[in-house]
Amino acid sequence: MSAGSRGPSPAEAERLRDLPSVELLAARIEGVPKGAAVAAARSAIAVARERIRAGGEPGDLVAEAQAALRPSPRRVLNASGVIVHTNLGRAPLPAEAAEAAARAGVGYTNLEYDLSRGARGSRHHHVEGLLCELTGSEAALAVNNCAAAVLLAAAALAGGRELVVSRGQLVEIGGSFRIPEVVAQSGARLVEVGTTNRTRISDYERALGPGTGAILRAHQSNFRTLGFTEEASIEELCRLGPPVIDDVGSGVLADGVPELADEPPVRRSVTAGAAVVCFSGDKLLGGPQAGLMVGSHEAIGRCRSHPLARAVRLDKLSLAALEATLRIYRDPAAARESIPVLRMLSIGEDALQGRAEAMRDLIDGAQVVRATAKVGGGALPLLELAGPVCAVDPQPLGIDELARRLRSAETPVIGRAREGWFLLDPRTLDDDEAREAAGAVAAALGR
């Protein structure tokens, strides 16, 4: 034993000896293969030992072992009212997209096989035509997320040269990643112009020269600069001459959704003449995680042939889900109804009220009050979606203990706290999920 360390006290040693053997605990876990039961038992006993050494109780070892057998990514009921909740997987897929991904996952597909020629094909072919049709672009490419799309575009169009960008657009995206750091990996040299709140077209003009590779415009997706501001339009930038990379963030393909009015439409940037327009496949588009790139034949061709394209390519499951989602957009009315994100954004007051009341009726002492939901996912930061919610008095447990119990449920429920109440927002639940969430809350409270 090393100097300064101590062994367990007699009482602690006795409690450690009282723990069951791995084999005995594994025998009490039913319905799983023996190897899995043994691994779960070993994990539960290790946790119990740590608790005892810390002066606590060992806990329910069978329950701990059963919890260890659960899949790590699990279904969660999102009652938070945050529609594109990054921590909860962002956009839920349309049914058609989930079914397409499942079909692609259970067997072989023609991912890179041209069935008409009987020869190798391109995985990009599956979505390029749809993206061109929906955005009016000449060519398109899909990679694994929007940051990868910007990185690839910068590397292909400005690698080893200068990339001109407004200081007001050097934003930080999720996970503490920043646009300058992402672009730096492309090999391009950033040239900053203008100020945080005002960048004129003349600022760009003075920065252009023989070393300019491209101009980057980055949408302020997760914040807004208000007041004394000015920025160059995409049309002005495209008239300057060098290729323009336009990162429009979430990307808007939907028509007839007023809540999306503050997001830059993809088609406008394409029409203006941007060389590459980058946007997300999840978030407001409502599909799987992907970075979508649309633009000219020449610019997209350079991106497609760049070595980084291989490193950031999209997998077969995401491609299948993306294609199914894009097909829905051919019918704007169907998109508003079938794509969960768009449906949550535009759902009517009566539907929300009925869902909130249904939850209230399942929980003794609950009330229906008004609150505001958010889009989340770094999109539309100023938009507040007012509507009815189910407010639950968390006593006698308290909010923290109620939230802990709901996170530990077989199907976890994630709500939000406000002024001592635990809120269940019906906007991010369907009718069945609302009843399930309310039942879980009632059970946790013992009501």
48-68: pLDDT as tens digits? 999 999 888 888 998 888 888
- What pLDDT does 255 receive? 82
**pLDDT above 80 (res 173):** no
Residue 4 is assigned to a structural domain of this protein: no
| CB burial readout 216-233, b (16+ within 10 A) else e | bbbbebbeeeeeeeebbe
**Which of the four pLDDT bands, split at 50, 70 and 90, describes residue 6?**
low
Average pLDDT over residues 401-425: 95
Residues 414 and 323 in one domain: no
Residues 431 and 383 in one domain: yes
**pLDDT above 90 (res 148):** yes
Mean pLDDT lowest among 141-145, 175-179, 431-435, 443-447: 175-179
Residues 36 and 137 in one domain: no
For the chain, the maximum distance between any two Cα atoms, rounded to a whole number of angstroms, is: 81
**pLDDT above 70 (res 225):** no
Residues 152 and 197 in one domain: yes
Residue 2 is assigned to a structural domain of this protein: no
Domain that holds residue 40: 10-68
**pLDDT above 70 (res 127):** yes
Residues 171 and 310 in one domain: yes
**pLDDT above 90 (res 169):** no
Q: How many domains is the chain built from?
A: 3
304-359 per-position pLDDT tens digit: 999 999 999 999 999 999 999 999 999 999 999 999 999 999 999 999 999 999 99
What CATH number is given to the structural domain containing 357?
3.90.1150.180
**pLDDT above 70 (res 394):** yes
**Which of the four pLDDT bands, split at 50, 70 and 90, describes residue 1?**
very low
With 0.85 as the threshold, say if the pTM is over it: yes
Residues 121 and 49 in one domain: no
Residues 188 and 317 in one domain: yes
Residues 168 and 246 in one domain: yes
